[in-house]
Homo-oligomer: A and B are copies of this chain.
Amino acid sequence: MATGGDTEYAICTEQELIQSFAKAGDRVLYWGSGSPQAWRVLIALEEKKIEYRSVCISFSSGVLKTPTFQQINPRMRVPVFVDGAAGVILYECAAILAYLEQFYPNPLFPNDPKLYAIAQTRLHESNEILSMVGEMVVYLRRAQANANKNIRPNPEILQAKWNFLESELKLWEMYLDGRNFLVANEPFLCDIVTFTNIAYAVRCGLQLDGLYPRLAMWYLRMCSLPSIEKTWPPHWKTTNGFSVLAKCHFCMCAGKCVCSCQGE
């Protein structure tokens, strides 16, 4: 079900995909609206001031499953980066980011070994946030889909998952103690990657204000970067997210409260 909004800026057919292919010397990023993995590459390209052509793929159109897209990435997902000048096709967001860092100017890592070590550690451990959030979202949306069968999410499982996520977020609160960004007072690649994970959680209803004050302020600082504003997922601008991570889901209200998260 390709939505109207989607088709305005995203590629929906194999034909359009073929027309989008990189010419010699061309740099093309294939991405999808709302994918944290694709978004971080868009932000990095902007921060590093690399010229590129942006090709948004519609997730709902099925283009990712076509033989034409599989020629670019057998894993049938975005992001994919084509560096026509070097004759290179890369997939896996972490691989694309490492490649850009290696061969393009405007580094997104600090030089100092001590700071570099922190930046690398934060970069990789931020995967934890996305996997925990993703797991909860899948669990809760499955429960929502079965709500008419009167199957409620298991409160114990939900509480355990929520406890894990809260411990995780507290760790990041600690990491932000005494600094404006994760490593120092300027953002690096680890901030960009962590930001896309937190932004996805916020889109899913996670509340930062009042609960995680340093993360909340860091999130606002990141939002104000021109690279992030420019690349904001288009469909996030015009639609509401699934508010499955709103606190109400965990208040055990069993559907009796009146907050917005019950409405979907």
Q: Chain A: residues with CB nearer than 8 A to chain B?
A: 74-75, 83, 86-96, 98-99, 102-103, 113-114, 116-117, 120-121, 123-125, 128, 171, 174
Q: Is the CB of A124 within 8 A of B88?
A: no
Given contacts A74-B171, A87-B114, A114-B86, contact A121 B103 (CB under 8 A): no
What is the CA–CA distance of A98 and B113 in the complex, to the nearest angstrom?
Answer: 11
CB-CB nearest in chain B for A126: B92
Given known A74-B171, A103-B113, A113-B103, contact A90–B125 (CB-CB < 8 A):
no
Contact check, A95 vs B114: say whether CB atoms are below 8 A apart.
no
Q: Which of B90, B94, B117 contacts A90 (CB 8 A)?
A: B117
Q: How would you classify the secondary structure of chain A's contact residues: helix, strand, loop or mixed?
A: helix
Contact of B99 with A117 in the complex, beta carbons under 8 Å: yes
Number of copies: 2
Known: A74-B174, A98-B98. 8 other contacts (CB 8 A): A74-B171, A87-B114, A92-B121, A93-B124, A94-B94, A96-B120, A98-B120, A99-B120
Q: List residues of chain B with CB within 8 A of the CB of A125.
A: 75, 91-92, 95
Q: Which 3 A-B pairs have the closest CB atoms?
A: A95-B120, A92-B124, A88-B117
> How many angstroms from the CA of A116 to the CA of B113 in the assembled complex?
23
A-B contact pairs, 25 of them (CB 8 A): A75-B128, A83-B113, A83-B117, A86-B113, A86-B117, A87-B114, A88-B113, A88-B114, A88-B117, A90-B117, A90-B121, A91-B121, A91-B125, A92-B125, A93-B124, A94-B94, A94-B124, A95-B117, A95-B120, A95-B121, A95-B123, A99-B116, A99-B117, A102-B116, A103-B113
Chain B residues, Cβ within 8 Å of A120:
90, 92, 94-96, 98-99
A161 to chain B, nearest CB (A): 16
- A94: nearest chain-B partner, CB-CB: B124
